[in-house]
């Protein structure tokens, strides 16, 4: 989520691409699979002219495969969108059975796509409104108390960082791990920082190791006394 210091909130590019790409990928896969199966039904039928495409293009088996793919994708999309122009229709029993199953599947697919997009939009909107309210409060507070511009930017930058890291859920990830693994994570993340801090220059390695363990937000991390 991108935020300007003037309070303008813009949906992140990765969210916009995800909300459009994921449902589109599922839809294209379903349309392509159904289209290929439509063509297979026609190509494997004993009487090609007694098929959905053979009734229009009698020599479709001898024509370019892309012609058949175009017809198949067209009929698959028309069926998926429930437009039903009537120019292509099931002719034999096998095609009618598959058409019924495909239309039942389309009902479930439509419900899935709508539900998925709704969840993504609602989730993002809730965080967007919360962040907007927090930023507006900071802007109003800074304006009312005539805070310096630099201090306002620091407050806004902190709020932006807070919302960016809100979904990391560090405590939830670490709380189910054994103490030894949590300690190793703490050593990897914070040991060098502690060693380079002027206040801790010259202290023992054991003290640094125990000190670093409290940097992780876990209730079971305690510094041994003595």
pLDDT digits (tens, 9 = 90+) for 123-165: 767 777 888 888 889 899 988 998 888 898 898 888 887 777 6
Tokens of 165: 């890291």
- Percent of the chain past pLDDT 90, that is, above it, reads 17
The whole-number average pLDDT for the span 5-11 is 45
Structural contact between residues 50 and 91, judged by C-beta atoms closer than 8 angstroms: yes
Residue 1 has pLDDT above 60, yes or no: no
Looking at 108-208, which runs of residues are DSSP E strands? none
Render the burial of 34-48: b for 16+ CB within 10 Å, e for the rest. Answer: bbeebbebbeebeeb
How far is Cα 118 from Cα 116, in angstroms, rounded to an integer? 5
The correct answer on CATH 1.10.287.70 for the domain covering 10-128 is: yes
Residue 72 tokens, joined: 């198949």
> Does the structure show a pLDDT above 90 at 31?
yes
pLDDT of residue 101: 94
Q: Report residue 58 as tokens.
A: 């009698």
Is the Cβ–Cβ distance between 35 and 75 less than 8 Å? yes
Is the confidence at residue 221, as pLDDT, over 60?
A: no
For helices 13-43 and 65-80, the axis angle rounded to 10 degrees is: 120
Closest CA to 71 of 107, 42, 112: 42
**pLDDT tens across 181-215, in order?**
888 888 888 888 888 888 888 888 888 888 887 76
Q: What is the pLDDT of residue 66?
A: 92
C-alpha span between 178 and 218 (Å, rounded): 11
Instruction: Give residue 82's region: left, alpha or beta (phi > 0; psi -120 to 50).
Output: left
Residue ranges of the domains in the chain? 10-128, 170-213
Rounded Cα distance, 24 and 74, in Å:
17
Over residues 74-78, mean pLDDT? 91
| pTM for the structure as a whole | 0.51
């Amino acid at each position: 989520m991108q935020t300007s210091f003037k309070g303008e909130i813009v949906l992140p590019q990765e969210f916009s691409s995800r909300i459009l790409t994921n449902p589109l990928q599922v839809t294209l896969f379903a349309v392509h699979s159904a289209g290929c199966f439509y063509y297979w039904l026609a190509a494997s039928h004993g009487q090609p002219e007694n098929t959905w495409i053979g009734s229009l293009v009698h020599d479709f088996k001898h024509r370019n495969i892309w012609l058949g793919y175009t017809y198949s994708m067209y009929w698959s999309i028309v069926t998926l969108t429930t437009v039903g122009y009537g120019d292509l229709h099931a002719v034999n029993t096998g095609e009618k059975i598959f058409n019924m199953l495909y239309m039942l599947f389309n009902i479930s697919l439509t419900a899935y796509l709508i539900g998925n997009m709704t969840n993504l939009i609602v989730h993002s909107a809730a965080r967007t409104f919360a962040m907007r309210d927090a930023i507006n409060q900071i802007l109003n507070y800074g304006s009312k108390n005539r805070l310096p511009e630099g201090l306002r930017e620091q407050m806004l930058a902190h709020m932006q960082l807070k919302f960016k890291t809100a979904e990391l859920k560090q405590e939830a990830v670490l709380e189910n791990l054994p103490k030894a693994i949590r300690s190793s994570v703490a050593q990897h993340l914070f040991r060098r920082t502690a060693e380079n801090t002027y206040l801790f220059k010259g202290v023992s390695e054991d003290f640094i190791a125990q000190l670093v363990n409290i940097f992780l937000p876990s209730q079971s991390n305690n510094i041994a006394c003595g």
